[in-house]
Structure 1
Amino acid sequence: MNRRRPLKRTVGAGAAVTFLFTAVTSCGSGETDKAPSITAPEVFYLRPVGDKSGPQGKDPFHFSVDDGKVHVGGRGPVDHTLTVDVLPGAESAVVLRKGGNCTGSSTHMTCAVRSEYDSRSDGGVSLVAAKGSKPGDAGEVRYTYADRSGKTVTARTRAVVGEPVVEVLTDRSRTGVRPGVELSEPIVVRNTGEVPVRGLVLQVGLEQLEFGERYANCRYPGFYKGHIAVCEFPDLRIAPGQTVTVRPALRLRTPKARLYASFNSEARALDMGPEYGGVMAGGDHGDGPALRPEATADRKGTYAKGGGWTNVVLDTHADYSVSAVNLYGDPGTERTFKLTVRNNGPADAGATEQLVFSPPLGMEMVKQPTREYDEDAYEPYCENGAFTYTCDIKALEPGKTQTFTFTMRLGEPGEGTLTLQDKKPAQDWYVGDRDPDPGNDKAVIAVHPDR
């Protein structure tokens, strides 16, 4: 969707449109000059005048130029010329908005630019809907870039008033799901925009889940170990107000030893181009059946612009326990000791727990656990308040432990406490670790006279 191909346009608002001409020679600096180019969207959708709604995560309009030459020490002087024109007949649909080092009118702008220029970072001309335009109106804008020798290169963008707005049916959470079973997830999308969706790209990302089947018209980028699927439907058209269901429903296999999992379903119009950063590239296609989008009646539920995450809470638990600690010595003696937390399973609940350490009265801190927050810069790992230390516990697989090493100066004989607690819930679907044995969530740290 975002590949640059010499002498060819690539469909998509964020896709590169690169026009090349004569190759140039090496400048002797170890790098090689390239042909000048303009990179611009082939199609760009404009919000109607006065309307600030629209799709989520849309890549704002921008284009760039490059004279292809190697410039030692920077991007060269401001001695290149860029001209942007609204072509005849398009004035009722699109006009130019001035920015950066540009002069001219709403239909013709001339900009003095460097050898490398990007309208988003350098400031420059942008496209907006013309007053009085209505959804579906369209027209072409032409860019002409001249280098110091007078050679020019051109590109065009088709500007369309109105936008396709893709919404995805998204459950915020799913609870009571048995570990190790397959979920059946239909993908339902609708167009709430002003103009048709022309081609659809669907991206599904998994956390702690696996695809039960890999579909023939989806790519599975290898770097993500099969946890992302990218499916494109270039011939699909979704009219404004129309709903489409992708069949068959996705089969997602739940883990056997996890308490939480999630998946993300994102969809957008293919000719809108990628959102910031684009969709994942590469990957082999699956060997299963092809997914088929079908027009269906609107389905009730919560729809999210562009898609969203569904959190899966599995019907299992994690039994965390903390071990008692006994210290021996006279007052003033330094002792180094470990506080040990264990996950007895059967599931990994993620980083849901904290250890609260309240030392016996009279103990003095000498050394506590730290973490590196910058290169060779450290801070205490545990939060300290009113002589109580609260330590986050990382995600522990069943049977695994985490230890916290302290060095303290002993006081008189006495007892303190070690207590496990759930972190404060950040979301309403959060259930902590569902620990079935709260009795082993507490232990004593005791100071005894020297033996």
Structure 2
Amino acid sequence: MRRVPGAFLTLALLLGALVACSGSDESISAPEVFYVNPYGAKSGPKEVATYRLSVKGGAPAGTGKTHRLTVDVPRGSQDAIRLRAGNVDCKGSTTHVTCDVASRSIDWDGSQQIVPVAAKGSSVGDVGYVHLTYVREDGKKLTARTRVVVGSPIVQLRTLTFKDVQPGSDVTAPVVVRNVGEMPVKGLGLLFDRGSLEFRERYSNCRYPTLMSTRSAVCRFPDVRIDPGEAVVIRPAVRLRASKTEMYDTFYRGAWALDAGTGPHSVAFEGGDSGDGPALEAFPAQPTDLKGGTWAEGNNISSAVHLDTHADFEVSGADLHGSPGTKRTLRLTVRNDGPGNPGRSTQLVFSPPLDVGVLKQPMDEYDDGAYEPYCKSNGFAYTCDVGELAPGKSRTFEFTLRLGEPGEGSATLQDTEQATKLGTVSRDPNPLNDTASVTVGP
């Protein structure tokens, strides 16, 4: 693999297409190159680019007229590839399909498609062609062609979890890309989504789309080639600044082979200006670059950032006075004394005194004018999600009670089941203020 500098991005995340058109609005387009899994393969790329077949300017709907579209696998390609028709109104075989186009435009992908697949007996590296012909209303033929390769590049990124990060410090995120597919990666695309972190550099060979407050950077390396089994490392390592309070943050990355496309579920952010910092460059990866972390594929690969901090939550209690049958309002307030924000990590468990009845509880409006209880009840206690509380913020839960004989209940804070499972708990250093008494007396 040769070292190449990154080039300025001309953003086109979807697979480039060959388009044949005339002076009219009629056109036909299909991918220039398309990779298919080997025949009988049980696995392939996680995100496979869709074979997008598009015809513009068909016969007007409702007129009864149609225009003819023909899709062929020529004889010299039939040992490598065949056609598979999805839910489309077409006729033919695995090598020749005709379709009557009866609307102004069609765009086949997903289940509505004709797609090339590897032929039985084909081998990795075999190449075939799909020829497409569209007959215009005036009889003129428009054509397009797709080069189909058996086997695919499969691009993976090394991903790490960053723990014990000092609040507000820099996170250095190495970018290591490998190809575990059967075919070479020809051109490399990278996507960075910083989440709630901040970019410390804006690299000159990346564009920063204006959508979502420039959360993303899209970078393109058209001259990079990664052979099967090889890997590259991107330098300088991408740096981001961690939050000062968000205890559990996440940023996202993605990588794909430029000529293979990004996959059907990828989001393309267009536009944006190039950065004014240094250019990112690709270098052959060394054994030390490949150590640690895990490998993941796709364009939404997450990397967790855990701050070395905590959040001190506290709950207030109450003393309620009155004879049995008296109504009283109980307000339980939960406060985050900081310094960190663990997100939705905490829940309040209110256990009323034994002889107390709950007449009203916090409600949640799930539709216009329609409400349901916000807290879950098992008949003895009420469990309420506190939600996200930034340092210094509080939330109050209000109950209406019918008092009974003197007694004592409690309000207790605890980690949610989800936070415990994910390891995103508050790390509360002061558990003594996590429980408060709710007493009833004369």
Structure-2 residue corresponding to 1:156: 145
Counterpart residue type for residue 409 of structure 1: R
Q: Which residue of 2 aligns with 1:380?
A: 373
The answer to whether the 8 A contact 2:342-2:424 is kept is: no
Q: Is the 8 A contact 1:12 1:41 kept in 2?
A: no
1:378 partner SS: strand
Aligned residues between the structures: 425
Q: Distance in 2 between matches of 1:166 and 1:226?
A: 25
Write the letter of the residue equivalent to 1:283. Answer: G
Counterpart amino acid of residue 143 in structure 1: L
Once the two structures are superposed, what CA deviation does each residue of 1:392-427 show, in whole Å capped at 9, x if it has no partner?
Answer: 111111100011222232222322110000112467
- State the AA in 2 paired with 1:14: L
Residue 81 of structure 1 pairs with residue 68 of structure 2: yes
1:207-286, aligned counterparts within 5 Å? 207-275=195-263, 276-286=265-275
Compute the TM-score of the two structures, normalised by the length of structure 2.
0.89
The one-letter code of the counterpart of 1:416 is G
What is the CA distance between 1:440 and its match in structure 2? Answer: 0.4
Instruction: Give the share of equivalent positions with the same residue, in percent.
Output: 49
Q: CA deviation at 1:89?
A: 2.4
CA contact (8 A) 2:46 2:298 kept: yes
1:304 alignment counterpart: 296
Q: Distance in 1 between matches of 2:419 and 2:337?
A: 24
Is 1:197 the counterpart of 2:185 in the alignment?
yes
Taking the aligned partners of 1:441 and 1:76, their CA distance within structure 2 comes to: 73
- AA aligned to 1:435 is D
Query: Are positions 1:55 and 2:45 aligned together?
Result: yes
Query: Is contact 1:101-1:124 (8 Å) kept?
Result: no
1:360-391 Cα offsets, whole Å, 9 max, x none, are 22322322222233444332211111321111
Assess, with a 3 A threshold, how the Cα gap between structure 1 residues 445 and 114 changes in structure 2: closer, same or farther: farther
After TM superposition, the structure 1 stretch with the greater mean CA deviation from structure 2, 368-377 or 430-439, is: 368-377
Q: Hey, what does 1:66 align to over in structure 2?
A: 56
**Secondary structure of 2:203 counterpart:** coil
Given the superposition, is the C-alpha separation of residues 327 and 20 from structure 1 closer, same or farther in structure 2, using an over 3 Å criterion? Answer: farther
Letter in 2 for 1:421: Q
Hey, what does 1:7 align to over in structure 2? none
Q: Distance in 2 between matches of 1:123 and 1:432?
A: 46
SS at match of 1:440: helix
Match of 1:434?
A: 427
What is residue 4 of structure 2 aligned with on the other side?
none
Residue identity opposite 1:424 in structure 2: E
Structure 1 length-normalised TM? 0.87
**TM-superposed deviation, 1:288:** 0.6
Gaps of 5+ in 1: 1-9, 24-34
Following superposition, the deviation at residue 15 of structure 1 comes to 3.7
Q: Which has the higher contact order (CA 8 A, sep 6+)?
A: 2
The amino acid across from 1:87 in the alignment is P
- For the 8 Å contact 1:12–1:271, the answer to whether it is kept is no
- Structure 2 residue matching 1:224: 3-state secondary structure: helix
Deviations 1:92-132 (A, max 9, x none): 22211234332222221112343143433563422101222
Contact residue 13 and residue 43 of structure 1 kept, 8 A: no
Q: State how 1:17-416 maps to structure 2 within 5 Å.
A: 17-23=18-24, 35-67=25-57, 71=61, 79-99=66-86, 100-115=88-103, 116-120=105-109, 123-146=112-135, 150=139, 152-171=141-160, 173-275=161-263, 276-298=265-287, 299-301=290-292, 302-306=294-298, 308-416=301-409
**What whole-Å deviation, never above 9, does each CA across 1:184-230 have from its counterpart, x for those lacking one?**
22100011111111111111122332111111111222222233221
Asked if structure 2 preserves the Cα contact closer than 8 Å seen for 1:167 and 1:305, the reply is yes
Q: Is the 8 A contact 2:365 2:372 kept in 1?
A: yes
1:61-115: per-residue Cα shift (whole Å, max 9, x none)? 34232326775xxx87683432101135222222112343322222211123431
Deviates further, 181-190 or 334-343: 334-343
- Distance in 2, matches of 1:67 and 1:194, equals 38
Structure 1 12/249 Cα, relative in aligned 2: closer, same or farther at 3 Å? Answer: closer
Compute the RMSD of aligned alpha carbons. Answer: 2.4
Q: SS at 1:203's partner residue?
A: strand
Shift of 1:429: 5.6
On the 8 A contact 1:415/1:445 being kept in 2, the answer is yes
Q: Deviations over 1:121-179 (max 9, x none)?
A: 563422101222222222221222335664543322221111010011112x2222211
- Distance (Å, rounded) in 2 between the aligned partners of 1:199 and 1:360: 68
Q: CA deviation at 1:431?
A: 4.4
How far did 1:58 drift?
2.1
In structure 2, do the counterparts of structure 1 residues 146 and 333 end up closer, same or farther at CA, with 3 Å as the change threshold?
farther
- Whether the aligned pair in 1 keeps the contact of 2:345 and 2:424 (CA below 8 Å) is no
Give the aligned partner of residue 4 of structure 1.
Answer: none
Residue 435 of structure 1: SS of its match in structure 2? coil
Counterpart amino acid of 1:170? T
- In structure 2, the gaps of 5 or more residues are 1-10
CA distance in structure 1 between the aligned counterparts of 2:193 and 2:173, rounded to whole angstroms: 13
* Stretch deviating more after TM superposition (310-319 or 119-128): 119-128
2:336 counterpart letter in structure 1 = N
